[in-house]
Amino acid sequence: MKKVFLFLGKGGVGKTTLAGSLAAYLSKYLGRVFVASIDPAHNLFDFFGITSKLGPVKISNNLIVEEIDINSHLKKFLKETSLKVKKNYHYLQMINLENMFDVLKYSPGMEEYAMFSALEELIDIWKSKVDYIIIDTPPTGLMLKIFFLPKATLLWIDKLKKLRKRILERRAQLVHIKGKEEFGDLVYEQEKDGVFKELNIQEKKAKKLLNIFSNPQICKKILIVNYDELSIMEGIKIINELASINVPIDLVVFNKKGMTDSITYDKKVENILDKLKSFKKVEVPFYKDHITPRNKMIEIAEMFAKELL
Amino acid sequence: MFKKIKEFFLLFSKGFRDVSTRAIEAELKELENVFALIVTGALTGMPAPPSYLGIKLLPYMEREIKVMICRSEALDDIFADWFDVLDFG
């Protein structure tokens, strides 16, 4: 894998169109491409005219498209966990936990976890099979949570590991003083402790994703805005939020230029635009006709692709 | 005769070890209780790790959850517990 491209921006600015166009361009000229949408309200398949709804779809020798089913990721995670709980908790052997766990998918934070996990999994699967991975992301609010999740997870894991170490140390002291027979199967070694092992696994996953996000050589973040106050304001919010976790934006694409007949920028919009002047900027015009023919997609991508390679 | 003396000393030594480890055992229970409270914090209104992390750890926390439930049931006696450990009274 040479690069991962993440398309970010307010809903409706054209993330899917530009992500799909870049995929068509790269697969024609530069190598194998996997493009996926992790937006729960995705329409990447519609963009490529795909009617099938399951799994990755091969469009050409060099291009694979997938709409990630977040719900199935969540279901798989909860099913696996309920089986593990059943296996490890002696008094829960006879109870059907799956139905109870099913409710957890509505818990706060589960949706962004499912996306975080889907993102981590798809990068892991496709990094050895393709040259470029392109991700069409959900709108700002959700995507920012996904960016922050690895960081928040790492902070918590650090604290939990310290506390766990103290627990295991105390257990080891007791076992050494009073003998193993007093405590049955009490675990006191880090290598054998399920909690510690799981914390290590989750730490590794979070670090891997955070490293990819913050590596400007591998991961290119493309911010899409339109010439309207709200999408630009939201774009600036994305830039500021990501800067706080050292994830820089590589390119700002002003999409749908000329969509309204006469664009009149008031002073306010001009001031906002001023805040984006330090970023690499590209403009893509508004297309009145259908943009789904492949040559049209490539024409669009040619306007910004070179800035990213 | 020797057997009885040996048994006496073994019992004596066990008694010593039990007394000397009471504080460590109480601290361990408290740490396990705190660990379970933090991991399941979202349910008790405390600052909590991301929900998924709690769910991931859940399968391995049978002991900690039992300790937490026991501790919460005996909250009224928490001072009595510690006075006992510290040999007050």
Domain housing A42:
3-69+111-147+199-308
Task: Give the model confidence (pLDDT) of B16-67 as tens digits.
Answer: 667 778 888 989 999 999 899 888 877 677 778 888 898 899 899 989 988 9
**B59 vs A: CB within 8 A:** yes
Provide the sign of the torsion angle of the four alpha carbons A161, B82, B22, B87, taken in this order. positive
Q: Quote the pLDDT of residue B57.
A: 93
Measured CA angle at A41 (ends A258, A116), to 5 deg: 110
In this structure, is residue A192 part of a structural domain?
A: no
In this structure, is residue A172 part of a structural domain?
A: no
Q: What is the 3-state secondary structure (H, E, C) of B10-57?
A: HHHHHHHHHHHHHHHHHHHHHHHHHHHHHHCHHHHCCCCCCHHHHHHH
Number of domains in chain A: 1
Task: Give the model confidence (pLDDT) of A223-243 as tens digits.
Answer: 999 888 888 889 999 999 999
Residue A265, pLDDT > 80, answer no
Q: Which of A170, A189, A203, A205 to mutate to test the interface with B (most CBs of B within 10 A)?
A: A170
**A87 vs B: CB within 8 A:** yes
The number of beta carbons lying within 10 Å of the beta carbon of residue B25 is 16
More confident residue, A139 or A264: A139
The reply to whether residue A178 touches residue B32, judged by beta carbons under 8 angstroms, is no
Nearest to B17 among A84, A178, A193 (CB): A178
Q: Two tokens at A219?
A: 């991961």
B-chain residues within 8 Å CB-CB of A173?
21, 24
Task: Give the model confidence (pLDDT) of A90-101 as tens digits.
Answer: 666 656 666 667
The reply to whether residue B51 touches residue A88, judged by beta carbons under 8 angstroms, is no
Q: What is the 3-state secondary structure (H, E, C) of A211-238?
A: HHHHCCCCEEEEEEEECCHHHHHHHHHH
Q: Two tokens at B54?
A: 């709690």
The reply to whether residue B31 touches residue A174, judged by beta carbons under 8 angstroms, is no
Instruction: State the smallest CA–CA distance between residue A11 and chain B in angstroms.
Output: 25
Q: Sorting pLDDT into bands at 50, 70 and 90, what band is A8?
A: very high
> Which residues touch B59 (CB under 8 Å, ≥6 apart)?
A81, A84, A85, A87, A88, A89, A194
* A77 close to B58: Cβ distance less than 8 angstroms: no
Task: Give the model confidence (pLDDT) of A280-294 as tens digits.
Answer: 888 888 887 776 777
The reply to whether residue B53 touches residue A157, judged by beta carbons under 8 angstroms, is yes
B-chain residues within 8 Å CB-CB of A117?
52
Query: CA-CA distance, B62 to B42, in Å (whole number)?
Result: 18
Instruction: State the smallest CA–CA distance between residue A170 and chain B in angstroms.
Output: 6
Q: Quote the pLDDT of residue A262.
A: 45
Residue A119 sits in a domain of what CATH number? 3.40.50.300
> Each residue of A64-95: b (16+ CB within 10 Å) or e?
bbbbbbbeebbbebbeebbebbbeebeeeeee
Query: CA-CA distance, A55 to B66, in Å (whole number)?
Result: 42
Measured CA angle at B20 (ends B15, B26), to 5 deg: 115
Q: Two tokens at A160?
A: 């939990």
Please provide residue A166's backbone torsions phi and psi, each rounded to the nearest 5 degrees. -65, -40
**A209 vs B: CB within 8 A:** no
Chain B nearest-CA residue for A187: B63
Residue B84, pLDDT > 70, answer no
In this structure, is residue A167 part of a structural domain?
A: no
What letter would DSSP give residue A277? T
What letter would DSSP give residue A30? T
| Secondary structure (DSSP) of A138-204 | PPHHHHHHHHHHHHHHHHHHHHHHHHHHHHHHHHHHHHHHH-GGGTTT----TTT-HHHHHHHHHHH
In this structure, is residue A136 part of a structural domain?
A: yes
Nearest to A304 by CA among A196, A224, A193, A247: A224
**B40 vs A: CB within 8 A:** no
Task: Give the model confidence (pLDDT) of A187-213 as tens digits.
Answer: 999 999 999 999 999 999 999 999 998
The reply to whether residue A170 touches residue B24, judged by beta carbons under 8 angstroms, is yes
Q: What percentage of chain A carries pLDDT values higher than 70?
A: 93
In this structure, is residue A156 part of a structural domain?
A: no
Instruction: State the smallest CA–CA distance between residue B14 and chain A in angstroms.
Output: 8
Lowest mean pLDDT among A58-72, A124-138, A193-207, B75-89: B75-89
Nearest to A278 by CA among A227, A239, A225: A239
Single-letter amino acid, residue B39? V
pTM of the complete model: 0.83
**A156 vs B: CB within 8 A:** yes
More confident residue, A83 or A19: A19
Single-letter amino acid, residue A223? L
The reply to whether residue B58 touches residue A85, judged by beta carbons under 8 angstroms, is yes
Residue A184, pLDDT > 90, answer no
Residue A117, pLDDT > 60, answer yes
Q: In DSSP terms, which residues pair with A281 in a beta bridge? A: A252
* A9 close to A242: Cβ distance less than 8 angstroms: no
Measure Cα distances from B23 to A170, A186, B83 in Å. 10, 18, 11
In this structure, is residue A132 part of a structural domain?
A: yes
Q: ipTM of this complex > 0.90?
A: no
Task: Give the model confidence (pLDDT) of A216-227 as tens digits.
Answer: 889 999 999 988
